Amino acid sequence: MNDIWERVTTRLTAGQSVVRAAVVTQEGSAPRTAGASMLVFADGGFAGTVGGGLVEARVLEAAAEVLASGTPRIMEFNLTGEMAAGADMICGGSLRIFVERLDPDLAGLFTTLTGRVSTGERCLLATPLEPGSDRVLLAADGRRIGLAGPAGSDGAADAACRT
C-alpha cells in the first residue's frame, strides 16, 4: 500500500488530480479483498488493481467520469448470476468499490500519510462519502494528525469521527 500512497502524493504535489478506487467490502469469493486500491490518472494510466476483467473495466469507465465531475460513487458488483455468466466471471462473490477524486489541495495530508506509513506507523484515513466534507488522518491512538477539506478545523470532522 505504501507504493499507492507515494504515487498519490507525487501526483498531488505536482498539481494533478488522481482517482482512487478502493474495494470497501467483499463477500464470498471475489478477485480482491477490502482495501485493494487502484489509481487512475488524467493521462489514462493506472496503477494497482481492484480485480481485473469486467469489474476493472467498469471501474475505469467510472473513474473517467469521477475525474471529470469530482462526484464520488460507490459501485456494486455481484459476481454471480447473469452478469457473471455473461462475462465468464467465476468468482461467485460480491464487491463494493468506492471511487473518488483526490485533488492537489490534499497534497499536504497525503504527504503526512505517506511519511507515517513509510516508517511503519499505523494510521487511519477517514474519507467522507459526501462531497465537501473533511478527510481526517488519525494516529493509531486516535489522535488527529491531519485534516483536509472545506470545513477546515471547525470540529465537524472530529465530531464525525467520534460517531
* One-letter identity of residue 155: G
Please give the DSSP secondary-structure letter assigned to residue 140.
T
Q: How confident is the model at residue 66 (pLDDT cuts 50, 70, 90)?
A: very high
pLDDT digits (tens, 9 = 90+) for 84-114: 555 555 556 778 899 999 999 999 999 999 9
Q: What is the pLDDT of residues 106-140, one digit of tens each?
A: 999 999 999 999 999 999 998 887 777 788 999 98
Q: What is the mean pLDDT of the chain?
A: 82
Domains of the chain by residue range: 18-102, 105-162
Q: How far is CA 50 from the centre of its chain?
A: 11
> What pLDDT, on the 0 to 100 scale, is given for residue 152?
52
At 78 the three-state DSSP class reads: strand
Query: Which set of grid coordinates corresponds to residue 128?
Result: 467522507
User: Cell triple for residue 97?
Assistant: 468499490
Strand partners, 55: none
